[in-house]
Amino acid sequence: MRFLRIFAAAALLLASLTDLSAGITFRRAPYYSQDTVSNSKFYVVCITDPGNLATINGQQVKVYKTGAFGRQLQLQEGDNPIDVTLFKGTEVETKQFNIYYRPKTGGSVAPAPQPQLEDRLFYVTTKEYAYLQYGSGGDRLGGSKMGFLDPGIVLKVVGAIDDLYKVQLSTNRFAYIHQEDVEFSPKSSHIVNTNNIGISNLEDRDRIRLSLPEKLPYAARTSLDPTTINVEVFGAMNNSNWITQYNELGIIDYLDVQQVESDVIRLVIKLKEKYCWGFTVGYEGNNLIVEVKHTPKNLSLGSLTIGLDAGHGGEAPGAVSTTGLRESDVNLSIVREIEKILKKKGARVVLSRTDDRSMTMTERKKIFRDGEIDLMVSIHNNAGGSPLVPMGASTYYKHITNRDLAATLLKHMLELDVQNYGLTGNFNFSLNMPTEYPNALVECLFMSSLPDEELLADPANHKRIAEKVVAGLEDYLSQVSASRPTPAKSNAKKKK
């Protein structure tokens, strides 16, 4: 019989069971060294050989094909004896241990001291792949991101907290930026007047050029009904007294310039179509360039380049299941299955990684940018929650214009008859941040759930997941195609 692992809601134990003749051994995980817990809900999750029978405190539990099994216990205050018994034919093995439950004591807790901004005032210049975030807070995904900035933009630093600088974008707007993404600048920032604006059609994209005396910080976001791209430029006063359109535009319906604050202007870019196929914002010299991609004329997979990201890898294996499955391996296996299907349909495929290697988010984004992809899907598997119940699939997006892509992928994932863990928007995942192409994150199943793990342990299910992801992509492309406006018919009358 294989080793036995025991998990808890607020703590985690490891134990091992061997043959009776060898005796029973017990070992604790290095990250847990107490038999006392403060959470009354306790999960016992174990591993044995598939086919064995198991009981926890006398109640028989399901042993999955992976060998994993478990039970949730409600602890009573004080000692809680627990026994795990395995049955293999006439052999019986039992492991007993005790968990002492001590509820958390009441009473007021003094609030944690809040870090104070240091008194600073100087200027910095952005490096490549620098990005602004709205606040100094953060979780495992970091602070909520505003967007990327071009290199060479001067920012005024007015404070610091941990590894972040607080920067003043305009009189009333502030943001935060990582100190490693900037360098000290001898230059200072100024409030400037904007110059002329031109718009032109470059066959595969529409291009807006806003002439400025110097590079200014900016932020972009999208909205729906109608589909609009809003680009705010900080430290600018509107002196663009005309907007010149040089030819008939492909995707942009119109551009409006608004002075939303005394030193903030907004470019309001209204699109002709429901779906936004991607846009970029950056500088050429001191000209702020916004390029909005035309929707591809041919929306079949065979005519597109699809980016696929297998999450984690190398020194970052991601979640590890009860029986030792590594998320990075499962992610790559699913991505490889998706790649096979896409290539059979004629698509060009760009992978962020092709083997088990460590990769930064910046490296992944650069691969996709250099690969000139049309659309990107990142594949992950989740962790958390109860290990004893199916947790299911979920999809994620950052920009509202990518919501339909994420929703369509989720719809097809649920055809696998798995639980719906939800559609999550405004997600702060780094690979959801790019605006150059539609993108979404798929969390296929939960590595930490025993029922989900059983599915993920079977390579045949990797292919089934891949088929649903590709079906979701095809469905999304059909939605985009159906939404496109029909070319207006000529009203010209024939001369008699």
375 and 324, same domain (yes or no)? yes
Question: Three-state SS for 432?
Answer: helix
β-pair partners for 264 = 234, 261
Q: Residue 108's pLDDT is what? A: 54
CATH number reported for the structural domain that contains residue 234 in this entry: 2.60.40.3500
428 and 403, same domain (yes or no)? yes
281 and 323, same domain (yes or no)? no
CATH number reported for the structural domain that contains residue 176 in this entry: 2.30.30.40
Instruction: From 251, 272, 293, give the residue that closes a domain.
Output: 293
318 and 222, same domain (yes or no)? no
Does some domain include residue 387?
Answer: yes
Does some domain include residue 114?
Answer: no
Chain centre to alpha carbon of residue 75? 36
Does some domain include residue 197?
Answer: yes
Average pLDDT for the chain: 88
Q: At what angle do helices 459-483 and 403-413 cross, to 10 degrees?
A: 140
Say whether pLDDT at 11 is over 80: no
Among 257, 231, 237, CA closest to 147: 231
Domain boundaries, position 170: 122-184
Does some domain include residue 92?
Answer: yes
403 and 254, same domain (yes or no)? no
205 and 353, same domain (yes or no)? no
* Amino acid (1-letter code) at residue 242: W
Q: Residue 9's pLDDT is what? A: 36
CB-based contact 443:396 (threshold 8 Å): yes
167 and 312, same domain (yes or no)? no
278 and 343, same domain (yes or no)? no
316 and 428, same domain (yes or no)? yes
170 and 31, same domain (yes or no)? no
Does some domain include residue 399?
Answer: yes
Q: Residue 120's pLDDT is what? A: 55
Instruction: From 162, 184, 206, give the residue that closes a domain.
Output: 184
Q: Residue 1's pLDDT is what? A: 41
Q: Convert the pLDDT of each residue in 92-102 to its tens digit.
A: 888 888 888 98
Does some domain include residue 111?
Answer: no
Say whether pLDDT at 15 is over 90: no
261 and 348, same domain (yes or no)? no
Average pLDDT on 434-452 reads: 97
Of the two residues 161 and 13, the one the predictor is more confident about is 161
Average pLDDT on 441-462 reads: 98
324 and 427, same domain (yes or no)? yes
Banded pLDDT at 115 (limits 50, 70, 90): very low
Q: How many domains does the chain have?
A: 4
Let me know the angle formed at the C-alpha of 453 by 47 and 309, rounded to the nearest 5 degrees: 135
Does some domain include residue 235?
Answer: yes
Whole-angstrom Cα distance, residue 281 to residue 133? Answer: 17
Instruction: From 293, 326, 354, give the residue that closes a domain.
Output: 293
Per-residue tokens: 349: 């495929």
CB-based contact 496:287 (threshold 8 Å): no
Say whether pLDDT at 104 is over 90: no
Does some domain include residue 468?
Answer: yes
CATH number reported for the structural domain that contains residue 441 in this entry: 3.40.630.40
Q: Convert the pLDDT of each residue in 289-327 to its tens digit.
A: 999 999 999 999 999 999 999 999 999 999 999 999 999
